[in-house]
Amino acid sequence: MEIKTLQVGPIGTNCYLLCDETEKRCAVIDPGGDPLEVAAAVKDTGCAPAAILLTHGHYDHTGAVADLQAKWPEVPVYLNRRDQYENDAYLQQLFPPVAGTRNYDEGDTIAVGGLTLSVLATPGHSEGGVTLRCGNVLFCGDTLFAGSCGRTDFPGGSVKKIMASLKRLGSLEGDLKVYPGHMEPSTLERERAWNPYLRQAMNG
């Protein structure tokens, strides 16, 4: 398993390429912008894209999806349906429609070559936020950051729900690697020790 990180879009969203080097397949996680850069990075890995996986529906995580769908029409795109607002023009400014997505939710699994990603529902930053786990790696989107957590003042956000999601992540066994939607990576042990939001959630 190899992970490549790109910072894309206007606010430096982390887009991750999760590669199975043996079977030469990869997942593109949160392509929030710069589709040409993302496509070139995928090509450089030598892996064929197997799926586009979205941790939530905010524009800074989905911005390159339409262009990548045009380039890779056979590649499925996964997004929790609670982050799609088909009939609300106001909310669509924050949650732009993503055509042709497949819904995924708690307990679902996605195969990428020989790798398996498990879906954990982690709402709070948005109603449909998910964390994707692959082995000892967590792709947390905007739920858990190094030293912080996602904001909850956007539509669909909830302090109560993000605290429950943080407690769930903090309660996972082992020192898992944390790959957040913004800023630098971390580990669960580091966050359990130093992240004030995670510590509050664990003690709540």
SS (H, E, C) the chain: CEEEEEEECCCCEEEEEEEECCCCEEEEECCCCCHHHHHHHHHHHCCEEEEEECCCCCHHHHCCHHHHHHHCCCCCEECCHHHCCCCCCCHHHCCCCCCCEECCCCCCEEEECCEEEEEEECCCCCCCCEEEEECCEEEEECCEECCEECCCCCCCCCHHHHHHHHHHHHCCCCCCEEEECCCCCEEHHHHHHHCHHHHHHHHC
Strand partners, 111: 116
Give the pLDDT of the chain (204 residues) as one tens digit per residue. 999 999 999 899 999 999 999 999 999 999 999 999 999 999 999 999 999 999 999 999 999 999 999 999 999 999 999 999 988 888 999 999 999 999 999 999 999 999 999 999 999 999 999 999 999 999 999 999 999 999 999 999 999 999 999 999 999 999 999 999 999 999 999 999 999 999 999 997
pLDDT at position 200: 97
Say if pTM beats, i.e. exceeds, 0.75.
Answer: yes
pLDDT at 188: 98
Look up the domain containing 187 and give its range. Answer: 2-203
In total, how many domains does the chain have?
Answer: 1
Burial class (CB in 10 A: 0-12, 13-18, 19+), 83: buried
CATH number of residue 90's parent domain: 3.60.15.10
